[in-house]
Amino acid sequence: MAVRAAVLPAVGAPLEITEIELPDPGPGQVRVRLAAAGVCHSDLSLSDGTMRVPVPAVLGHEGAGTVLAVGDGVTHVSPGDGVVLNWAPACGNCHACSLGEVWLCANALLGSGNVYARRASDGADLHPGLNVAAFAEETVVAAGCVLPAPDGVPLTEAALLGCAVLTGYGAVHHAARVREGETVAVFGAGGVGLAALQAARIAGASRIVAVDVSPAKEELARAAGATEYVVASENTAREIRGLTGKQGVDVAVECVGRAVTIRTAWESTRRGGRTTVVGIGGRDQQVTFNALEIFHWGRTLAGCVYGNSDPARDVPVLADHVRAGRLDLSALVTDRISLDDIPVAFDNMRAGKGGRALVTF
């Protein structure tokens, strides 16, 4: 059966909205009809080659939908169940998994190298970008790539739990470990940054500074929990220190992935504070420090993968926050679009516009 999908034919090439042929689910597989898929900056990074996946591929890794069919051996979901897609299923056997650090699983992305579908027009093999190929009306994924959708959360909004919210919330609660009363700066007010702002509010941060290049995002950021808003400039670190008694924030969370932003986040952090880098930068983005400042400032600089989250553990926690009204998923979405509009959403991300664009099917 043919379904419509957004195919990346080659690195750097425009997305093609076309029909693909999906097989029936085999052993250990699940077929899902998508309800919604978020358009994440990581999809743009895959498209332009900052991150690499086999091509041609169907992109999209943040989504939720309804199970249509399951293959042999699948018992945790059944046809008709709502599910959240998990683009990084842990193998449970590698060194990272043995340490409980499932977000660093060495085998999580092996499925991206598989052929999972064919292009209807010419029969060309297609790969599932980041395992789940959510930019399609339907997809077929490994059983480990689906989690039961939480009760009380609409599937269209539950899609955001699969990446933006797990990453932003996890960056604050698991990686940076923000404590009540601490001050926080979040760099970048896209989907992940807005989730991080909400997470800082939930954690009880006393002052939450949002930083973005766009003045137009101030209302979004303040609605998410920001108490201050700074338009990024060469004076950003100085402005943040001025807002915090010339000390700097306890925690800076960088959600952009650019050398200049990482460096600014570091300079905005107080002596002895923590700088957490969530954004995915290219190999050409070099960040430099001198040996004396590393000693003198005593700051911690740490990377953060997928919010240092365990989806099976954390999605139910996030759902509790949603049901209690502490976490507002709809506030992350600035554009609800169709499959055909994904290329425009990519252009908006390049221009730094909006929060999260959500494809609804």
CATH code (residue 96): 3.90.180.10
Other Cβ atoms within 10 Å of 78 Cβ, number:
12
Do 356 and 290 sit in the same domain of this protein?
A: no
Percent of the chain predicted with pLDDT > 90: 94
d(C-alpha 295, C-alpha 291), whole Å: 7
Per residue of the chain (361 residues), what is the pLDDT tens digit? 799 999 999 999 999 999 999 999 999 999 999 999 999 989 999 998 888 889 999 999 999 999 999 999 999 999 999 999 999 999 999 999 999 999 999 999 999 999 999 999 999 999 999 999 999 999 999 999 999 999 999 999 999 999 999 999 999 999 999 999 999 999 999 999 999 999 999 999 999 999 999 999 999 999 999 999 999 999 999 999 999 999 999 999 999 999 999 999 999 999 999 999 999 998 899 999 999 999 999 999 999 999 999 999 999 999 999 999 999 999 999 999 999 999 999 999 888 887 899 999 9
What letter represents residue 50's amino acid? T
Range of the domain at 241: 165-306
Rg of the chain over Cα atoms, rounded to whole angstroms, equals: 20
Coil, helix or strand at residue 356: strand
Longest dimension (CA), the chain: 63
Does residue 271 sit within a domain?
yes
The structure's pTM equals 0.95
Do 198 and 295 sit in the same domain of this protein?
A: yes
CB-count exposure of residue 126 (10 Å: 0-12, 13-18, 19+): buried
Please say whether the beta carbons of 224 and 197 come within 8 A: yes
Does residue 73 sit within a domain?
yes
Listed residue (137, 119, 124) closest to 20, CA to CA: 119
Does residue 296 sit within a domain?
yes
User: What is the model's pLDDT at position 134?
Assistant: 98
Does residue 322 sit within a domain?
no
Do 158 and 177 sit in the same domain of this protein?
A: no
Do 52 and 195 sit in the same domain of this protein?
A: no
Does residue 124 sit within a domain?
yes
Do 287 and 250 sit in the same domain of this protein?
A: yes
Do 255 and 158 sit in the same domain of this protein?
A: no
Do 124 and 232 sit in the same domain of this protein?
A: no
CATH of the domain at 219: 3.40.50.720
Task: Domain count for the chain, please give it.
Answer: 2
Does residue 15 sit within a domain?
yes
Do 18 and 84 sit in the same domain of this protein?
A: yes
Does residue 314 sit within a domain?
no
Do 155 and 169 sit in the same domain of this protein?
A: no
Q: What are phi and psi of 211, to 5 degrees?
A: -125, 130
Using omega within 30 degrees of 0 as the cis cutoff, is the peptide bond preceding 56 cis? yes
Do 136 and 176 sit in the same domain of this protein?
A: no
d(C-alpha 301, C-alpha 30), whole Å: 39
Does residue 230 sit within a domain?
yes
Angle between helices 259-267 and 236-243 (to 10 degrees): 30
Do 142 and 35 sit in the same domain of this protein?
A: yes
Do 347 and 268 sit in the same domain of this protein?
A: no
